[in-house]
């Protein structure tokens, strides 16, 4: 479903250049639950931005269902993001002036759902995430973990075909992290939801079917879960 070929992303075209991605080739299949791991600054968020068509590579190609994303105009890229993508940003990217419910409302409204459908979907998903009593709170009136859960709810409200989540548990305690990861696992197993998730936590590994380890802008290692459940390096 997504194929990245020889992707590079160089930031700062002046004197100081940062090679955030330095030749990454990767394939994400429908129904995958992939973890992207690696040290800070290794290019994980940059790669996730590429998958979400939030950024363009300096060189290399991204194919989405066989279509070269580089040939799509901004309108087509926006349509892809609206219709097919759920994205949890590392810094949440909630709109500070809008309540939890209104933040979740945005993508469903943009998709043309009726006000009644939006209200119902938003209340349902916020309650599912234990935020039933926070729906009228502004982001500034919520804890980091609560804001993070609003951001996850917003990413899932449209039932995206592709969920990209950048450290979605970074501000959650282990109990709430487990709730989110168990939910992701259920979505993946029962509805074949494709998920690509960035994580720093060793214990998250048991949820992933495949782990891409990044270092200095390249894939250092890729491991797959075998039938028996163990993680083994890809050839
Ligand atoms: N907008 C930008 N301008 C210049 N350099 C950038 C920019 N965004 C990221 N970088 C650099 O690119 C490299 C990769 O950044 P990226 O955010 O992808 O790392 P990461 O693996 O997600 O790290 P973390 O675990 O800290 O979130 C880093 O060295 C970072 O400083
Ligand atoms: Mg990051």
Residue 147's pLDDT is 95
Q: Is 42 in the pocket of ligand 1 (CB under 6 A)?
A: yes
Q: Is 46 in the pocket of ligand 1 (CB under 6 A)?
A: yes
Q: What is the largest CA-CA distance in the chain?
A: 53
157 Cβ contact partners less than 8 Å away, ≥ 6 residues apart:
86, 104, 107, 108, 121, 122, 125
DSSP state of 17: -
Q: How far is the CA of 28 from the centre of ligand 1 (A)?
A: 22
pLDDT digits (tens, 9 = 90+) for 165-174: 999 999 889 9
Residue at token pair 């950024």 = 55
- Token pair for 20: 């955030």
Average confidence (pLDDT) over 73-88: 93
Residue of the CA atom closest to atom 6 of ligand 1:
11
State the pTM of this model.
0.94
Residue 233's pLDDT is 84
* Closest alpha carbon to 60 in 85, 25, 107: 25
Q: How far is the CA of 47 from the centre of ligand 1 (A)?
A: 10
The residue extents of the domains of the chain are 2-92+160-228
Q: How far is the CA of 151 from the centre of ligand 1 (A)?
A: 21
Residue 14 pLDDT > 80: no
Vertex 165 angle, CA 104 and 77, to 5°? 75
Average confidence (pLDDT) over 140-149: 94
Residue of the CA atom closest to atom 31 of ligand 1:
41
Residue 108's pLDDT is 80
Collapsing DSSP to helix, strand or coil, 74 comes out as: helix
Burial 34-73 (b: 16+ CB within 10 A, else e): bbbbbeeebbbbbbbbbbbbbbebeebebebeeeebeebe
What is the CATH code for 2-92+160-228?
3.40.50.300
Q: How far is the CA of 44 from the centre of ligand 1 (A)?
A: 8
Residue at token pair 């390096």 = 233
Cross-strand bridge partners of residue 224: 210, 232
Mean pLDDT (the chain, rounded)? 93
Q: How far is the CA of 44 from the centre of ligand 2 (A)?
A: 5
Beta strands in 122-226 (DSSP E): 162-166, 194-198, 210-215, 218-225
Collapsing DSSP to helix, strand or coil, 131 comes out as: coil
Question: Which atom of ligand 1 is least distant from the CA of 217?
Answer: 14
Q: Is 43 in the pocket of ligand 1 (CB under 6 A)?
A: yes
Residue 227's pLDDT is 78
Residue 70 pLDDT > 80: yes
- Reported confidence tier of residue 188, pLDDT bands at 50, 70, 90: very high
Q: Is 108 in the pocket of ligand 1 (CB under 6 A)?
A: no
- Reported confidence tier of residue 158, pLDDT bands at 50, 70, 90: confident
Q: How far is the CA of 50 from the centre of ligand 2 (A)?
A: 13
Residue of the CA atom closest to atom 4 of ligand 1:
11
Helices 100-110 and 144-156 meet at what angle, rounded to 10? 20
Q: Is 41 in the pocket of ligand 1 (CB under 6 A)?
A: yes
CA distance 2 to 154: 22
Question: Which atom of ligand 1 is least distant from the CA of 48?
Answer: 18
Share of the chain above pLDDT 90, in %: 78
Question: Which atom of ligand 1 is least distant from the CA of 167?
Answer: 27
- Reported confidence tier of residue 101, pLDDT bands at 50, 70, 90: very high
Question: Which atom of ligand 1 is least distant from the CA of 42?
Answer: 21
């Amino acid at each position: 479903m997504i194929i990245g070929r020889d992707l590079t992303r160089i930031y700062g075209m002046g004197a100081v250049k940062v090679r955030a991605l330095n030749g990454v080739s990767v394939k994400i299949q429908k129904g995958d639950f992939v973890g992207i791991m690696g040290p800070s600054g290794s290019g994980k968020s940059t790669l996730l931005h590429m998958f979400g068509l939030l950024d363009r590579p300096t060189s290399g190609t991204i194919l989405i269902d066989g279509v070269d994303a580089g040939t799509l105009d901004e309108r087509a890229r926006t349509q892809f993001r609206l219709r097919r993508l759920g994205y949890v940003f590392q810094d949440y990217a909630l709109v500070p002036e809008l309540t939890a419910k209104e933040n979740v409302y945005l993508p469903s409204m943009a998709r043309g759902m009726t006000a009644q459908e939006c209200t119902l979907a938003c209340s349902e998903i916020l309650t599912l995430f234990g935020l039933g009593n926070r729906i009228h709170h502004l982001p500034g009136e919520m804890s980091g973990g609560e804001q993070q859960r609003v951001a996850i709810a917003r990413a899932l409200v449209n039932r995206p075909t592709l969920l990209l989540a950048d450290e979605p548990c970074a501000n959650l305690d282990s109990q709430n992290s487990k709730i989110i990861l168990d939910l992701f696992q259920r979505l993946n197993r029962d509805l074949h939801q494709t998920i690509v998730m960035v994580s720093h936590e060793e214990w998250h590994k048991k949820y992933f079917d495949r782990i891409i380890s990044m270092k200095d802008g390249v894939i250092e290692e890729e491991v797959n879960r075998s039938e028996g459940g163990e993680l083994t390096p890809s050839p």
